[in-house]
Amino acid sequence: DVKVTQSSRYLVKRTGEKVFLECVQDMDHENMFWYRQDPGLGLRLIYFSYDVKMKEKGDIPEGYSVSREKKERFSLILESASTNQTSMYLCASRFLSTEAFFGQGTRLTVV
């Protein structure tokens, strides 16, 4: 079974803090993704990576950056958290163009 694990289920951070969301997959997938999920807006792609050190902006990259130093790990960084970044964050990985596997999600609240 493919496992995609996000480091935290719930996080509460203060405005202006630097926030790291970590995601690890155990199936040697090249492609990894970060989405945010908001009611009525669906899943919006923040960034994705198709190889180590390769990244591409998604639809809403502003205020976020990513890091992929190792194949199994994809980190999402909020440089200076703001209240409008309060959301559910989902990480996913996939092999080539096949099925994507999702983590359990991190519910981030910025106060």
Asked if residue 102 binds other proteins (CB under 8 A), the reply is: yes
C-alpha to C-alpha distance for 90 and 49, rounded to whole angstroms? 14
Give the CA angle between residues 35, 31, 19 to the nearest 5°.
Answer: 40
Report the site for other proteins in 11-70 (rule: CB under 8 A).
30-31, 33, 35, 40-45, 48, 50-51, 54, 56, 58-59
Q: How far is the CB of 17 from other proteins (least distance, A)?
A: 26
Nearest to 83 by CA among 58, 46, 57, 108: 108
Contact positions toward other proteins, by CB under 8 A?
30-31, 33, 35, 40-45, 48, 50-51, 54, 56, 58-59, 90, 92, 94, 96-97, 99-100, 102-105
